[in-house]
Structure 1
């Protein structure tokens, strides 16, 4: 069995000085009747938690002359390209058309070699795997790789160091990298609620089926949470450690996205609002006295109000 605590501790030491330490906000701004502690991971480099796993993978060593390759709905590609540039490696990023102009522009700004492919994330992953086979470039998987999971696990480790008091942490789920890292670090010490859009729910479907299964993906958060199949590492952790799975509708996500800006001045993409939407919509109702926290994961809103080029 993987010693995730040791792996995440090593990752934290490895990425120190490369990944940002993101702040925590305690607020009653959402009129829930109880306070919410939020970790603002959307303030990480390139606007999402993904930089943690990217830096951990690259700093672990063994990057070939061909550099790195990654497939992404947008956020992971931007983070992998950012980390590669910071460490002096060439990067080739594959994204689906649904990534959108804002995230495509963000990746291009890193100087990476970018390919936009038709279809969904799964199609971009196939193209990236073909490129890996042809060139020998290092594949940085968006979520289903031990170094990625360990890197993302540093987020929860950091939050506990910052004094996290919650009994329950709500985390949005796409392919499972962020919540997988959290489950690996916490190892059952706190309740974890997995929040997915009703139209992109790979973990929920896997838990019902008893194994990872393919799902269709669509909706407002699909370019960040649109994995067709949950990662095997996340599924194994969720099955072993235990997770509560809830679904939220697109209108709840969009409403919460607006509330985050209007009430807390946090500009986030739909994926970044998804976990909080479980509280604001009532999809998850805490027990009396249950202390809750929400991990805000992404800031790459579309359309980007400050985008000057595509």
Structure 2
């Protein structure tokens, strides 16, 4: 990847990842990834309980959906003979790094990751156990990404992007193919948005009758702010979910997907995120990251409701967190 991918303003307008790319990714990684299950539960709302289907993607290898994209990207590089001895390098707040490290271990290649100084200990511990070389740099994902570009050139490693690389997005989109096999009704699918790789992948992978709702913290609303401005813009991040939804600008591929009109953006506050995370633990004994729990918050608040003939679906995308911080 060229350094321009770390500066969306320097790139040409991106084209949304297409459905065929998601199908191709599925052919490459389906035998490796877990086919994550779904769980149906009644969720309380101001207007009474509603039925919600949860896609339990936090049960994926590495504890989040991120491994799908890394396996696809590394698998393609191996097929093309473009995976160097230095392996891969990625800048990430945590989950994308864990996904890359898991995929690199699977493909028996080195992995170097650059994370912000504030990366959660649970994620750092997981990276070390996966054998990755970890560099802690800066106070934000943007700081880590800037350092990663220089380091990748020095090492001669292939640089992955946490959310704005076609192979990464297509790999994430394989979740949608599973959902379409598991649920035969049109979906109203809620998913947390950081840089937008997952929401872009799901949009490419779902059926034409499905709708994707991107959910963002008010203090990290990259997609919402871009939609309001008519173009991606830089934002300041201030949210309890910043460790996983800490991008300061929506990715080009997510913006291209949003420009199709098949994604809307819902904003939730940190209190709603904490409440959603607590409800998942209290009622379902599911522990996820704050960023993951954000996707449920609009349903609990009554912002998103049931529609006859359609299924409300929440993608629980990551659980690299500590049980001790639920209190």
Q: Any idea what the Cα deviations from partners look like across 1:173-209, whole Å, max 9, x if unmatched?
A: 0000110001112264311111000100100011111
User: Structure 2: where are the runs of 5+ without partners?
Assistant: 1-14
Matches within 5 A, 1:280-299: 280-287=300-307, 290-299=310-319
Taking structure 1 as reference, are residues 41 and 34 closer, same or farther at Cα in structure 2, changes over 3 Å only? same
Structure 1 unaligned regions, length at least 5: 306-310
1:9 aligns with 2:23: yes
> Quick one: distance in 2 between partners of 1:187 and 1:234?
17
Match of 2:252 in 1: 232
Instruction: Establish whether residue 19 from structure 1 lines up as the match of residue 19 from structure 2.
Output: no
Alignment counterpart, residue 113 of structure 2, candidates 93, 118, 127: 93
Contact 1:47-1:298 within 8 A present in 2 as well: yes
8 Å contact 1:101–1:303 — kept in the other structure? Answer: no
Q: Quick check: 1:183 aligned with 2:199?
A: no
Aligned length: 305
> Does structure 1 residue 198 correspond to structure 2 residue 226?
no
Matched, 1:35 2:51: yes
Match of 2:5 in 1: none
245, 270, 276: which one pairs with 1:250?
270
Aligned to 2:322: 302
Q: CA deviation at 1:117?
A: 1.0
Q: 1:123-143 CA deviation, whole Å, 9 max, x = no partner?
A: 111111111122221111110
Q: Residues 278, 108 of structure 1: CA spacing in aligned structure 2 closer, same or farther, 3 A cutoff?
A: same
TM-fit CA distance, 1:302? 3.4
1:166 CA drift (Å): 4.3
TM-score using structure 2 length? 0.89
Which deviations, in whole Å up to 9, do the C-alpha atoms of 1:207-229 show, x marking residues without a partner?
11111100111211101011000
Give the CA RMSD over aligned residues: 1.7
Aligned pairs for 1:44-193 (under 5 A) are 44-61=60-77, 62-186=82-206, 188-193=208-213
State the match for 1:210 in structure 2: 230
